[in-house]
Amino acid sequence: MSQSRPVIHVILASVREVRLGAAIADWVMTQARTQTGLSVELVDLRDHPLPLFDEPHHPRSGKYTRETTKNWSAKVSEADGFVFITPEYNHAYPASLKNALDHLSAEWSGKPVGFVSYGGVAAGTRAVEALLPVIACFEMKPIMQQVNIPFVGAAVVDGVFRAGDVQVQAAEAMFASLAKALGAASD
């Protein structure tokens, strides 16, 4: 672990100019901070623009030539675990998240990951299902307790996500599982 309190990067996958994910990320960060055994940081993929993967070497080599990749590698390496906040686009997750994952390899390896998904009737669950084989490729450890947000357009009012009891309880369970996976005490 990187310090006495494990570091969790909450990665916001949507990079759209107008997006509901930012409101959800604010709520997730508030929920995460109630876990005193964890140190959490929001990592917005919009703040880490990556070109479509164009490194000359396979990511498993760790031989990065592009500054954007080197910077992304350093950022991801800081984390002991992750939470991916992802919308569902056409039964999958956004290309921005796939590209961010594909740029690296060892930096993801073996680390636990939780999921917060959002969308329409399926609550973004198909995005998470599409992510699981990719996560397995990196030998990441998925936290099975997920936060799923259906009909997200109605749940974000004036830029604020209005979580229901189900989402609050799911977030508590997800962060407790992350803390347990990292050997941290959770409240």
pLDDT tens digit sequence for 13-36: 999 988 999 999 999 999 998 876
d(CA 107, CA 73): 7
* Distance from C-alpha of 168 to C-alpha of 147, rounded to nearest angstrom: 8
Evaluate if pTM is beyond 0.85. yes
Question: Which CATH number fits the domain 7-181, given the four candidates 3.40.50.620, 3.40.50.360, 3.50.30.30, 3.60.150.10?
Answer: 3.40.50.360
Contacts of 171 (CB under 8 A, 6+ apart): 28, 31, 32, 116, 147, 163
Residue 2's pLDDT band (cuts 50, 70, 90)? very low
In tens, the pLDDT along 71-122 reads 999 999 999 999 999 999 999 999 999 999 999 999 999 999 999 999 999 9
User: pLDDT of 102-111, one tens digit each?
Assistant: 999 999 999 9
Indicate the helix (H) or strand (E) that contains 87: strand 81-87
